[in-house]
Chain A
Amino acid sequence: MVGIISFGIYIPQYRMNRKTIFTAMGWLNPVGVPGEKAIANSDEDSLTMAVAAGMKCLGPFDQNKVDGLYFATTTSPYKERESASIIAAALDLRSSIRTSDFTNSLKAGTGALLSSCESVQSKGARNALICASDCRLGKPGSAQEYAFGDGAAAFLIGSEEVVASLEGFFSVSYDFPDHWRSEFDKFDRTSEERWIRDEGYNQFIPEAILGLFKKYGLESKAVSKLIYPCIHPREHSQLGKRLGFKPEQIQEPLYPKIGECGTATSLMMLAAALEEAKPGDHLLAVSYGNGSEALWFTVTEEIKTKSIETGIKEYFKSGRELTSYEKYLAFRGILPVETGLRGEVGPTQLVQAWRERKAILALYGSKCNRCGTPQYPPQRICVNPNCSAIDEMEPYRFSNKKGKLFSFTEDHLAFSLSAPQMYGLIDFEGGGRFNFDITDCESGSLKVGMPMKMTFRRKYVDEARGIYGYFWKIMPVRE
């Protein structure tokens, strides 16, 4: 049996009420869509959200046993430089694994999921982690701006302790130009909405579902949850209805509260369905983009053993409202803002960054074998003045440790798109201390001693040299 061992959703903290967009851009395009969309923080992108979802999905699973990492997105930070290998490094996976980016289509998420299942089925890998994440830019005033949200999902695929087994799939592929983005484009170009609805969305999704039904002799009434993306809330419910599904069989779309998260949409909804699933449930996860892909999973008894850290319901309820449309534009680099000299970025020494990759990407320090003191960055001579052992260190990972805030400040002088810039020192559980930027945190909310955890973020963007600087930050543990 091959299928899902574990799953995790990540949705960034910020929510924007669509009325805020309407207030800013309604004069141009008065789209009256209610609800909210999730917005990645200024230091997040599809890659960092994938790491967050991946960490949640892996949980206590031994990361050394992961044999592959597949990343699906249409919003890779780099056009050429594999995101999957950066994610794998941040998750501290072994280097003797397969990594691959699945991209350029919204169905890349199900594509990566299916490929990872096939890797395990063919015994090419014992298991594989797939992360799907998107942070798509909607052009100001466009329907996409209202629709798109930011989010990620991750699944660990394997053949033991499977919570949902892959029973079958059906794929259809078309070069359907409903939207596209060439190397010259910052934003998606789109075709007419009614044509997309009639000739794309309402054709390909049914074709994939009915194709799967025919292939396996399945019927709609056997399906516990049907999962598929949403181009508009009304169209979404009607599509399922036309195929004979009852409203309670249709998984709640992300569009109203989170927004459509690109390649991650169907996978986030699949994870959400699994949070509620019972043994024996049949889940149908369908993607849409250049055709469609339908994946059929059956939930096993193992689902009862799963505890959910932060589920979709908490994400629906939580969130911090971003009330400034201009700030959102600045986060995404759409609105150029005055950064002053402090916003300028110096060069990155890539040779050094490569040599120190364990310390930078996986946050490895060292632990003294003589006195047991953990220390960051890694040292050869122990920092404990009563020890001073030389070359008696072992690597020690901090990224999975929680800690307490030792001190902090809110700095109004430093340049930050999330001003004021907050940073502080963390005392790690089990020892060790270092200073980090603090993120996802409201001004005035920090207290000495509060619990903190690590989060992988985009620390800087060096536009002049085309470099994204990734590193770890600390954030409050949301209890």
Chain B
Amino acid sequence: MSKGIKDKVAIIGMGCTKFGELWDKSAEDLMVDAFKEAIKDAGIEAKDIQAAWQGNHYTEVNIGHSALPSSTTLKLPFIPVTHVENFCASGSEAFRGACYAVASGACDIALAIGVEKLKDLGYAGLPDARHVMTLGTLYRIIWPNHTGPGAFAMMATRYFDRYRLDPREGKRILAHISVKSHHNGSLNPKAHLRREITVEDVLKAPIVAWPLGLLDSCGVSDGAAAAIIVRAELAKNFRPDPIYVKALQIAADSGESLMYSQYDYTHVEPTYRAAIKAYEEASIKNPREEISMMEVHDCFSITELITYEDLLISPRGKAREDVESGFFELGGKIPCQPSGGLKCFGHPIGATGIRMLYEIYKQLQGKAEARQVEDPKIGLTHNIGGFPTRAVASVTLVGLQ
């Protein structure tokens, strides 16, 4: 019987670039910036790293295939480097690879780095999955003329229908989620979008994919983030306040959500499955009481709303009550997106999973400045790749020992 990852590995250093439309920075620049901060934070050098994982999504039209983009840029010393891709969860996948390698005992120090240079691709929003063939060549023919916002908009359509929410009322609830993230983002110097907004701003914003508007959608950004992982028992040799991994779960859809008509399209099944396993792995009995803060995958406001339910924080159909009571705001019971989230910190696909950890890591160490959550113990990150009907989802729990 496996015992899981709990307390086997720790993060001893992290780096994260500012996210944004970084027209004058290359993907290589961003990797170096994140890496430089991470090794400095850990107090190590490149030669100390024994294995590395690199997460990136738009590989063909961005950094190129294989491990070489990071190994050659970072001058990693002829070590095993693995390129991983799992849609928007590619960063979490890189982190999982590094953690598993260290936990297995195959190495003592591993690097996880995620990078994406979306703004080189020439699109407002993400490139069409069908066009750049990230769904494969058959789906290029049989898949609708689909964008990310549209895929998640269909979840809002269902959610409003299922819980009998008038679309105007539904949009108003969702607007609170964006307003909260913009407030947090305004406090974060590395965030892409740093402007406070109002509910009225969200409701007035142009529709991107009905019922979702521009301010229901996250930033499309460039950025990189990196983490240095060591065996837990070595962690204190590097720093007094390492952060320990309590759970690390990724669930990939079996195809049911798309092809089997039992799926309700008001949740993301892989999130729910990964959450159950993560809580079990971390021995968390009551997540609503035990989790101090969360960074979740708010690619769109509706995604954050249903994630509260998928993570068993809010009961099904009741997330609106927690939204309206301020439960997820910075001063609330479980602050969500203290960084500003994908919404405002930004969303460079391959970097996002590690960027979420960066925020939780800084919060647990008490270094989050104006947006510091009070006395956090356990932080959760949640990262989705793909669409609600065809998704991978990761749930990671980390804490101070």
Residues of chain A touching chain B, judged by Cβ–Cβ distance below 8 Å, are 341-342, 344-346, 348-349, 352-353, 356, 359-360, 373, 375-377, 379, 383-385, 406-416, 420-421, 423-425, 427, 431-437, 448, 459, 469, 471
Q: CA of A471 to CA of B258 in the docked complex: distance in angstroms?
A: 18
B145 within 8 A of A: yes
- Docked-complex contact A411 and B209, CB < 8 angstroms: yes
Selected A-B contacts with CB under 8 Å, 6 pairs: A341-B122, A383-B255, A409-B212, A413-B125, A435-B143, A435-B389
- Chain B residue nearest to A423 (CB atoms) is B144
- Docked-complex contact B137 and A414, CB < 8 angstroms: no
Q: CA of A1 to CA of B256 in the docked complex: distance in angstroms?
A: 53
Taking A344-B131, A385-B256, A413-B209 as contacts, is the C-beta distance between A437 and B145 under 8 angstroms? yes
- Docked-complex contact B259 and A342, CB < 8 angstroms: no
Q: Which of A341, A352, A359, A431 is packed against the most chain B CB atoms within 10 Å? A: A341
B150 to chain A, nearest CB (A): 4
Q: Which of A356, A424, A434 is packed against the most chain B CB atoms within 10 Å? A: A434
Q: Which residues does chain B contribute within 8 Å of A385, judged by CB atoms?
A: 254, 256, 260
The B191-215 residues at the A interface (CB cut-off 8 A) are 206-212
- Docked-complex contact A459 and B141, CB < 8 angstroms: yes
Q: Which residues does chain A contribute within 8 Å of B125, judged by CB atoms?
A: 413
Q: Which residues does chain B contribute within 8 Å of A360, judged by CB atoms?
A: 141-142
- Chain B residue nearest to A365 (CB atoms) is B259
- Docked-complex contact B150 and A411, CB < 8 angstroms: yes
Taking A352-B137, A409-B154, A414-B128 as contacts, is the C-beta distance between A433 and B207 under 8 angstroms? no
Q: CA of A414 to CA of B127 in the docked complex: distance in angstroms?
A: 10
Q: CA of A95 to CA of B259 in the docked complex: distance in angstroms?
A: 29
Q: Which residues does chain B contribute within 8 Å of A448, judged by CB atoms?
A: 157-158, 161
A381 to chain B, nearest CB (A): 9
Q: Which residues does chain A contribute within 8 Å of B138, judged by CB atoms?
A: 352, 356, 359, 377
Q: Which residues does chain A contribute within 8 Å of B123, judged by CB atoms?
A: 341-342
Q: Pick the contact of A409 from B128, B161, B209 — CB < 8 Å?
A: B209
Number of B interface residues at 8 Å Cβ cutoff, please give it: 45
- Chain A residue nearest to B206 (CB atoms) is A412
- Chain B residue nearest to A384 (CB atoms) is B260
Q: Pick the contact of B149 from A408, A411, A437, A459 — CB < 8 Å?
A: A411
Q: CA of A345 to CA of B125 in the docked complex: distance in angstroms?
A: 18
B46 within 8 A of A: no
Binary contact readout B112-152 vs A (1 if CB under 8 angstroms, 0 otherwise): 00000000001111011011110001101111111101100
Q: Which residues does chain B contribute within 8 Å of A407, judged by CB atoms?
A: 154-155, 157-158, 161, 265
- Docked-complex contact B142 and A431, CB < 8 angstroms: no
B364 within 8 A of A: no
Please provide the 9 A-B residue pairs with the shortest distance between their CB atoms, ordered closest to farther.
A423-B144, A409-B153, A411-B150, A407-B154, A411-B209, A433-B261, A410-B210, A448-B161, A437-B144
- Docked-complex contact A413 and B147, CB < 8 angstroms: yes
The B262-304 residues at the A interface (CB cut-off 8 A) are 263, 265
- Chain B residue nearest to A349 (CB atoms) is B137
A-B interface pairs (CB < 8 A), number: 136
- Docked-complex contact A413 and B255, CB < 8 angstroms: no
Q: Pick the contact of A413 from B130, B158, B208, B389 — CB < 8 Å?
A: B208
Q: Which residues does chain A contribute within 8 Å of B254, judged by CB atoms?
A: 383, 385
A69 to chain B, nearest CB (A): 23
Q: Which residues does chain A contribute within 8 Å of B161, judged by CB atoms?
A: 407, 448
B109 to chain A, nearest CB (A): 40
Q: Which residues does chain A contribute within 8 Å of B258, judged by CB atoms?
A: 433-435
Q: Which residues does chain B contribute within 8 Å of A353, judged by CB atoms?
A: 141
**B interface, by DSSP: helix, strand, loop or mixed?**
loop
- Chain A residue nearest to B139 (CB atoms) is A377
- Chain B residue nearest to A428 (CB atoms) is B261
- Docked-complex contact B207 and A412, CB < 8 angstroms: yes
- Docked-complex contact B146 and A423, CB < 8 angstroms: yes
- Chain B residue nearest to A437 (CB atoms) is B144
Q: Which residues does chain B contribute within 8 Å of A346, judged by CB atoms?
A: 130-133, 140
Q: Which residues does chain B contribute within 8 Å of A436, judged by CB atoms?
A: 144
Q: Which residues does chain B contribute within 8 Å of A412, judged by CB atoms?
A: 206-210
**A interface, by DSSP: helix, strand, loop or mixed?**
mixed
- Docked-complex contact B141 and A471, CB < 8 angstroms: yes
Q: Which residues does chain B contribute within 8 Å of A415, judged by CB atoms?
A: 145
Q: Which of A345, A352, A425 is packed against the most chain B CB atoms within 10 Å? A: A425
Q: Which residues does chain B contribute within 8 Å of A425, judged by CB atoms?
A: 154, 265, 389
Q: CA of A436 to CA of B150 in the docked complex: distance in angstroms?
A: 12
- Docked-complex contact B144 and A435, CB < 8 angstroms: yes
- Docked-complex contact B150 and A423, CB < 8 angstroms: yes
- Docked-complex contact B260 and A383, CB < 8 angstroms: yes
- Docked-complex contact B260 and A424, CB < 8 angstroms: no
Q: CA of A35 to CA of B67 in the docked complex: distance in angstroms?
A: 66
Taking A341-B127, A414-B128, A427-B261 as contacts, is the C-beta distance between A348 and B255 under 8 angstroms? no
B75 to chain A, nearest CB (A): 35
Q: CA of A413 to CA of B208 in the docked complex: distance in angstroms?
A: 6
Q: CA of A412 to CA of B214 in the docked complex: distance in angstroms?
A: 11
B235 to chain A, nearest CB (A): 40
Q: Which residues does chain A contribute within 8 Å of B154, judged by CB atoms?
A: 407-409, 424-425, 435
B271 to chain A, nearest CB (A): 17
- Docked-complex contact B141 and A413, CB < 8 angstroms: no
Q: CA of A365 to CA of B195 in the docked complex: distance in angstroms?
A: 49
- List 18 extra interface pairs beyond A411-B210, A435-B146, CB under 8 A: A346-B131, A352-B137, A375-B260, A383-B254, A384-B256, A406-B158, A407-B155, A407-B158, A412-B209, A412-B210, A413-B147, A413-B208, A421-B145, A431-B261, A432-B261, A433-B261, A435-B389, A448-B157
Q: CA of A346 to CA of B60 in the docked complex: distance in angstroms?
A: 14
- Chain A residue nearest to B126 (CB atoms) is A413
- Docked-complex contact B141 and A414, CB < 8 angstroms: no
- Chain A residue nearest to B127 (CB atoms) is A341
Q: Which residues does chain A contribute within 8 Å of B142, judged by CB atoms?
A: 359-360, 377, 471
Q: Which residues does chain B contribute within 8 Å of A341, judged by CB atoms?
A: 122-123, 127, 131
B90 to chain A, nearest CB (A): 21
B25 to chain A, nearest CB (A): 22
Q: Which residues does chain A contribute within 8 Å of B131, judged by CB atoms?
A: 341-342, 344-346
Binary contact readout B209-249 vs A (1 if CB under 8 angstroms, 0 otherwise): 11110000000000000000000000000000000000000
A376 to chain B, nearest CB (A): 7
Q: Which of B140, B158, B265 is packed against the most chain A CB atoms within 10 Å? A: B140
Q: CA of A419 to CA of B200 in the docked complex: distance in angstroms?
A: 26
Q: CA of A432 to CA of B146 in the docked complex: distance in angstroms?
A: 20
- Chain A residue nearest to B159 (CB atoms) is A407
Q: Which residues does chain A contribute within 8 Å of B256, judged by CB atoms?
A: 383-385
Q: Which residues does chain A contribute within 8 Å of B158, judged by CB atoms?
A: 406-407, 448
Q: CA of A344 to CA of B142 in the docked complex: distance in angstroms?
A: 17
Q: CA of A283 to CA of B225 in the docked complex: distance in angstroms?
A: 77
- Docked-complex contact A423 and B145, CB < 8 angstroms: yes
- Docked-complex contact B149 and A413, CB < 8 angstroms: yes
Q: Which residues does chain A contribute within 8 Å of B263, judged by CB atoms?
A: 433
B125 to chain A, nearest CB (A): 6
- Chain B residue nearest to A409 (CB atoms) is B153
Q: CA of A411 to CA of B132 in the docked complex: distance in angstroms?
A: 18
Q: Which residues does chain B contribute within 8 Å of A373, judged by CB atoms?
A: 260
Q: Which residues does chain A contribute within 8 Å of B211, judged by CB atoms?
A: 409
Taking A341-B122, A423-B145 as contacts, is the C-beta distance between A409 and B255 under 8 angstroms? no
Q: Which residues does chain A contribute within 8 Å of B122, judged by CB atoms?
A: 341
Q: CA of A427 to CA of B122 in the docked complex: distance in angstroms?
A: 36
- Docked-complex contact B150 and A414, CB < 8 angstroms: yes
Q: CA of A283 to CA of B261 in the docked complex: distance in angstroms?
A: 50
Q: CA of A360 to CA of B142 in the docked complex: distance in angstroms?
A: 7
- Docked-complex contact B259 and A434, CB < 8 angstroms: yes
Q: CA of A243 to CA of B211 in the docked complex: distance in angstroms?
A: 62
Q: Which residues does chain B contribute within 8 Å of A408, judged by CB atoms?
A: 154, 157
